[in-house]
Amino acid sequence: MVIALALPLLVQAQEADVSIVNIDFRPEGGNVVENYLNRTNGGFVASAFLENYESIEKVELLLDGSPFNPAIERTMINGTVVFLSGTLNNDALRLRVPEGGRFLSLKTTTYPKDGSVTQEVGRQRIVADYTLPEGTLAYDTEVSSSTASGWLKIGDQVNFHLTLTAPDITATTQLPTGLFNGRSISWVGSADPGVFLGSYQVAEGDSDRTAPIPVTGVEISDLAGNITEVAPISVTEKIDANSPEVSVSSPEAGATYSSKEVPFEHGANEPLSKLSFVLDGVPVPDGATSLKDLSDGSHILTIEATDQAGNRKTSTVSFSVDTTVPPVNVPTNPDGGNVEQGSTIIFEGETEPNAKVKIEVFSDPQTSETTAGADGKFRIEFNTSNLDSGTHEAYITVTDAAGNSQRLKISTFEIFKNQPVILAQTSENESGARTDVTPRVISSNSQNQAAAQSQAVETPQPTQVANAGSTLSTSTTRQQKTNWGAWLTLFGIVILAAAIATAGYYGYEWATAEEDLSEQDLSPPNIKKEELPEEIQTIVDARAVEESLINKKPTVSSELSETKESGSLDREESTPETRW
């Protein structure tokens, strides 16, 4: 990049008709420094504005009083004269402008009335310096007392010293550059001429190094703008720029334990020179695998680790111990109650905040769970649709965050099914008399006996289904049906009985033929029911039941007839009472 630098040149006219001349001089190419030519420059431009230029016939550029050789290109427009050196390589420039202090000036030729006049106006000093600067680099370290020998840890510092050699010992004010361990070196000047101080401080997260580390890219420049790179050096100390990390897997941070002894497990990310643990201010013995005799409450485990370089890090793990089972109180529960099947029962109470609550109902195992709120309160609504009729027991289990659990029986209750209402049923004969034909409830034994000899089937024929407050009534018709199986069985038994009686009679006559006929008892034999065949006993029992049902008419409360006549029957208040 070419940087143009204007250098005003004060030229004092030698003659009265030549005014002050302003000259601009600027190097071109490379590192541009005011009033200097260096080995990075590739040429220069000199320009000036001449007043009264109408009388000037000729202008030349002089170097140390001699015409610049070879002559360079010149142009002059409206009093502005420009001299271009052109693009010169460094060697050509050194030949045309030799190293050292030089003077530039202008030579003008005018044509006054009494003849031409030649003048050299102004002198401007410039310096040509093509020699590269030289310097030496050294370092030392600043470490803390805890740093291990041969190591640099976090916070330690490397100090660099760059000293320029003659003749450029005072010939620069530009700060050096340089890299160390991937970071730029910070440079400052010093009170000593030609000495610069650099520094690098180890920071957390920098690269760890175990081999010598080179210092690279250290460049210096002199006053003329010549730049050179100082011979690199290496720092032999090892660097550990990362703190040790100790991971504790047990006890786990923030966890709550239900035991007074907790397993102790840990590990480190690098070899350590020192590792210590302190629990609630008391050192943990080396090699311990568990933390024992812990009291209920919060605990703090402090870890202090030191690595091989001397980096030290302290961390903590907080945990809690809770060995107390959570209390529970369930004032709202169905204990001692009779519960209709399908209804909902409520379990409501209080326990430890955020504890898990589980309700179990037996003998039909049913479970419902919830979590207590931050205030410890809970509520569980339990539907009894899946519970059978009979006695049931409810148990509650509460479990806190530490795993402490308590299970208690909290209630015993009965489940019953709601029985359907049997509506009164009547039948009216030809004469207008009403007869109660409401189905009767009989025992299982009576049902079996009646089924064996039943001659009729009652088929209820509902005539109206009532809403609340409406008439509830039904009517039935009795349909006769012959039980031919029973009649055939009875006929067979009669024949069999007659045969047995006949055989018995003639057998008796034969056995008592020699006895006096007057002493014979010719009355029918007295046969007990138990001695009859089992089929005959069944028929006899069935017949007795049928006669009992026919001869004994049920009585219906007077409310039934009153309701029938009024045409209304209240389901809840006027249900007829059946008595046998």
∠ CA(459), CA(460), CA(466), 5° rounding?
165
113 burial via Cβ count (<10 Å: 0-12, 13-18, 19+): exposed
CA separation for the pair 77, 80 (Å, rounded)? 5
Q: Quick one: fold of 246-321? A: Immunoglobulin-like (2.60.40)
Alpha carbon dihedral 328, 331, 334, 335, in 10-degree steps, equals 80
DSSP conformation class of 507: H
CA separation for the pair 234, 212 (Å, rounded)? 6
Residues 6+ apart with CB under 8 A from 106: 11, 21, 23, 48, 59, 60, 61, 62, 81, 120, 121, 122
Domains 9-129 and 246-321 share a fold: yes
> Looking at residue 540, what is its pLDDT?
66
| E strand map for 209-311 | 213-216, 219-221, 227-229, 233-235, 238-239, 246-250, 256-257, 262-263, 265-268, 272-279, 282-283, 290-291, 297-307
pTM above 0.95, yes or no: no
Q: What is the full per-residue pLDDT of the chain (580 aa) written as tens digits?
A: 333 333 333 333 334 344 556 678 889 888 888 889 998 998 888 888 887 777 788 888 888 988 887 667 777 888 888 888 888 887 888 888 999 999 888 888 877 655 677 888 777 888 999 988 888 999 999 999 889 999 999 999 999 999 988 666 656 667 899 999 999 999 998 888 788 999 999 999 999 999 999 999 999 888 888 888 999 999 999 999 999 999 999 999 999 999 999 999 999 999 999 999 999 999 999 999 999 999 999 999 999 999 999 999 999 999 999 999 999 999 988 988 899 999 999 999 999 999 999 999 997 788 999 999 999 999 999 999 989 999 999 999 999 989 999 999 999 999 998 765 555 555 555 566 555 544 443 333 334 333 333 433 333 333 333 333 333 333 333 344 456 667 777 777 878 877 777 766 665 555 555 444 444 454 555 666 666 666 676 776 766 666 666 555 444 444 434 444 444 434 334 333 333 3
∠ CA(375), CA(378), CA(379), 5° rounding?
150
Collapse the DSSP code of 458 into the 3-class scheme (helix H, G, I; strand E, B; otherwise coil) and give the result. strand
Count H helices and E strands in the chain, helices first.
5, 45
What architecture (CATH level 2) is domain 9-129?
A: Sandwich (2.60)
CA separation for the pair 564, 432 (Å, rounded)? 13
List beta partners, residue 127. 36, 101
Residues 6+ apart with CB under 8 A from 572: none
CA separation for the pair 233, 12 (Å, rounded)? 54
Domain boundary assignment for the chain: 9-129, 135-239, 246-321, 328-416, 421-503+526-580
> Looking at residue 299, what is its pLDDT?
97
State the amino acid at position 360 in one-letter form. E
Q: Quick one: fold of 328-416? A: Immunoglobulin-like (2.60.40)
> Looking at residue 123, what is its pLDDT?
76
Q: Tell me the three-class secondary structure of 18-74, residue by residue.
A: CCCEEEEEEEECCCCCCCEEECCCCEEEEEEECCCHHHEEEEEEEECCEECCCCCEE
CA atoms within 13 A on the CB side of 260: 6
To the question of domain 135-239 being in CATH 1.10.10, the answer is: no
Contact 135, 162 (CB under 8 A): yes
> Looking at residue 422, what is its pLDDT?
53
List beta partners, residue 362. 393
For 462, phi and psi rounded to 5 degrees? Answer: -60, 135
Helix axes 484-511, 534-551, angle to 10 degrees: 120
